[in-house]
């Protein structure tokens, strides 16, 4: 077995691999960029090496630098995780040329499946069902011809890359003309390959994938299928196994196609064969192969008891037992939700900053790289964590997912947690009646208040505040006018210690994204709701979308308090929300 393995990645996957290596008695070597100096994977690894500035192109994508570190550190193998260099055939070949084992498939297998149009050709050769599509497109005119032959709507896709990047749904020739240049540029910038093709779009589709593992000598087994249809803009959000609503014949067909394709290339290590499943026709079609560990591999592990990373390492070291002797029998159901640093209320705009609270649900499997104090930069994929839950059957797993999401708290930046909670209780998800367009039909209802103007010296305070910490240099905090603070809370039915907004000198301008009850108490000020004057000292119902403006606080006082029914959800720090 290897004595030392380098992880050519960061974030949750690096932490995940380090845990398995530690259990196997293998020393781990982490690499990190300037932006990841304080990252969890750096502290968890046995050894850590700096490889460059924050941008991935100057650090995690620098294969030569990572190989140099591996040789300096004395690593015998490299695990690429997912993303970055995990499907880079040139990097895998460079590892082999340097005498370092690449823990994954062969360079030849990466090349065979790395470009979608060549993967389609291989699938066609093996008799795996395919959607109508084209070869590589020469230009826009060729694209028009192929799209008309196939029939709109079609997907315009980059032949390189993955993760939902480099594809666009087009409904007609006008949209095709608008999308062609943009998708080509995106593919060139992200994958250094502007090759495009078109493929028939299935309007009522599900995204089903089969997890396989091969020994590199023709032996390939499957570990069940996953449903990855809960997607936003072709990016997976929730995945589960087994896929709900499939017949045994459906499963058998998917598995047979996946195994046939991967046995044809004598596939080595973990891989995933992805399919489009046409709900109306009850038919599946080959989509692509991911020659790496998938982000959603944890749900398969949860129902099989297998550690795929351990299998990958053992196989690369030549110590994995024959596959048929260790093949597991899946049991129960598992679901994964991805937590992203993004704002669903602002078209999923990325969110950055320092985390002030991180609390995960007990009992769930958590794969993450964050903790309180982690600085979330804008350099990398915004995924913060994966929550994986299990149940004896799907309904139990769905219930556990809802409980785990509600018990998870992340503060300091905006995340998609509230969005995930809404998805998890939507009837279509609960009943397993979703497809790939499910999230596009979902109307997000954020329980948030948007600050349009911050006001002067506006803060959140709770009563009695943060007291008794002068001895460690923390001054007291809390409402300056505790009487008015408690009156405002009483008017909306909150407990006296609920957090409320304290306005000093001049108040903020706020937009409410959800219906609430509010009350204002304290010093007089000019207050309007959607342009109409609003009285203090009483409660008011505010509709979603309304704008509250609090002007200059009057001369007869210096503090005004805005209480919101249910309070303001901010983390406790030293016993207070102030």
pLDDT in tens, 337-357: 999 999 999 899 999 999 999
3-state helix, strand, coil in the chain (%, to 5): 30, 30, 40
**Residue 531 class from Cβ within 10 Å (0-12 exposed, 13-18 middle, 19+ buried)?**
exposed
Q: Residue 371 — φ and ψ, nearest 5°?
A: -160, 170
d(CA 385, CA 82): 14
Q: Helices (H) and strands (E) in the chain — how many of each?
A: 17, 32
How far apart, in Å, are the Cα atoms of 57 and each of 54, 186, 189, 204?
9, 15, 11, 37
Using the structure block, give the residue that is written with the tokens 């140099």: 68
Q: Residue 301 — φ and ψ, nearest 5°?
A: -60, -35
Give pLDDT tens digits for 117-171. Answer: 888 889 999 999 998 888 889 999 999 999 999 999 998 988 876 656 778 899 9
pLDDT in the model for residue 166: 77
d(CA 509, CA 237): 33
Element (H, E) at 70: helix 63-73
pLDDT in the model for residue 159: 81
d(CA 374, CA 296): 23
Residues 6+ apart with CB under 8 A from 29: 4, 5, 6, 7, 45, 46, 47, 48, 49, 69, 70, 73, 75
Say if residues 467 and 461 touch (Cβ distance below 8 Å).
Answer: no
d(CA 536, CA 553): 12
pLDDT in the model for residue 162: 61
Using the structure block, give the residue that is written with the tokens 């001049």: 506
- CA R_g for the chain: 27
Say if residues 229 and 441 touch (Cβ distance below 8 Å).
Answer: no
DSSP 8-state secondary structure symbol assigned to residue 94: H
Say if residues 224 and 304 touch (Cβ distance below 8 Å).
Answer: yes
Q: Residue 372: helix, strand or coil by DSSP? A: coil
Spell out, as residue ranges, where the chain has pLDDT lower than 50: none
Using the structure block, give the residue that is written with the tokens 């119902």: 541
Provide the 10 A C-beta neighbour count for residue 241: 29
Give pLDDT tens digits for 188-242. Answer: 777 767 789 898 888 889 999 999 999 999 999 999 999 999 999 889 999 999 9
Provide the 10 A C-beta neighbour count for residue 217: 10
Using the structure block, give the residue that is written with the tokens 């007990």: 362
d(CA 446, CA 247): 37
Tokens of 169: 């749904």
* Closest-CA residue to 63 (of 25, 22, 129, 107): 107
């Amino acid at each position: 077995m290897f004595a030392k393995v380098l992880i050519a990645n960061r974030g949750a996957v690096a932490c995940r691999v380090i845990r398995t290596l530690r259990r196997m008695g293998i020393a781990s070597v982490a690499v990190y960029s300037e932006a990841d100096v304080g990252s969890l994977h750096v502290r968890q690894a046995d050894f850590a090496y700096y490889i460059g500035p924050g941008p991935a192109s100057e650090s995690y994508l620098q294969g030569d630098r990572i190989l140099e570190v591996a040789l300096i550190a004395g690593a015998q193998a490299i695990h690429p995780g997912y993303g970055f260099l995990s499907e880079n055939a040139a990097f895998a070949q460079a590892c082999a040329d340097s005498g370092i084992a690449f823990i994954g498939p062969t360079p030849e297998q990466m090349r065979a499946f790395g470009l979608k149009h060549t993967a389609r050709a291989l699938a066609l050769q093996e008799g795996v069902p395919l959607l109508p599509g084209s070869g590589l497109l020469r230009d826009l005119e060729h694209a028009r011809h192929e799209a008309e032959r196939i029939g709109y709507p079609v997907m315009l896709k980059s032949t390189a890359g993955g993760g939902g990047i480099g594809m666009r749904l087009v409904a007609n020739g006008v949209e095709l003309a608008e999308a062609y240049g943009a998708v080509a540029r995106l593919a060139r910038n992200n994958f250094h390959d502007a090759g495009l093709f078109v493929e028939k779009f299935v309007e009522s589709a599900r995204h089903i994938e089969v997890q396989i593992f091969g020994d590199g000598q023709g032996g390939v087994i499957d570990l069940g299928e996953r449903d990855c249809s809960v997607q936003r803009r072709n990016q997976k959000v929730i995945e589960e196994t087994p896929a709900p609503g499939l017949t045994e014949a459906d499963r058998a067909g998917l598995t047979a196609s996946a195994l046939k394709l991967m046995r044809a290339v004598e596939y080595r290590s973990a891989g995933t064969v992805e399919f489009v499943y046409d709900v109306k026709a009850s038919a599946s079609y080959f989509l692509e192969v991911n020659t790496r560990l998938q982000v959603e591999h944890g749900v398969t592990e949860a129902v099989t008891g297998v550690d795929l990373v351990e299998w990958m390492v053992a196989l690369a070291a030549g110590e994995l037992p024959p596959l048929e002797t260790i093949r597991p029998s899946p049991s129960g159901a598992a679901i994964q939700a991805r937590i992203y640093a993004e704002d669903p209320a602002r078209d999923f705009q990325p969110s950055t900053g320092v985390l002030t609270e991180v609390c995960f649900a007990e009992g769930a499997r958590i794969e993450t790289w964050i903790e309180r104090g982690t600085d979330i930069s804008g350099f990398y994929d915004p995924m913060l964590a994966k929550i994986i839950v299990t149940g004896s059957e799907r309904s139990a797993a769905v219930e556990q997912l809802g409980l785990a999401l509600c018990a998870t708290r992340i503060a300091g930046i905006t995340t998609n947690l509230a969005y995930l909670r809404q998805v998890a209780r939507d009837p279509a998800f609960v009943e397993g009646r979703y497809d790939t367009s499910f999230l596009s039909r979902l109307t997000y209802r954020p329980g948030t208040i948007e600050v349009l103007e911050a006001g002067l010296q506006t803060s959140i305070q709770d009563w009695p505040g943060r007291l008794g910490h002068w001895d460690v240099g923390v001054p007291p905090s809390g409402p300056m006018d505790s009487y008015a603070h408690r009156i405002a809370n009483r008017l909306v039915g909150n407990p006296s210690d609920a957090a409320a907004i304290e306005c000093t000198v001049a108040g903020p301008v706020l937009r409410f994204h959800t219906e609430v009850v509010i009350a204002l108490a304290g010093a007089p000020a000019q207050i309007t709701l959607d342009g109409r004057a609003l009285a203090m000292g009483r409660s008011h119902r505010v509709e979603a979308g309304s704008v509250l403006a609090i002007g200059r606080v009057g001369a007869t006082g210096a503090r005004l308090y805005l209480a919101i029914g249910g309070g303001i959800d901010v983390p406790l720090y030293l016993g207070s929300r102030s």
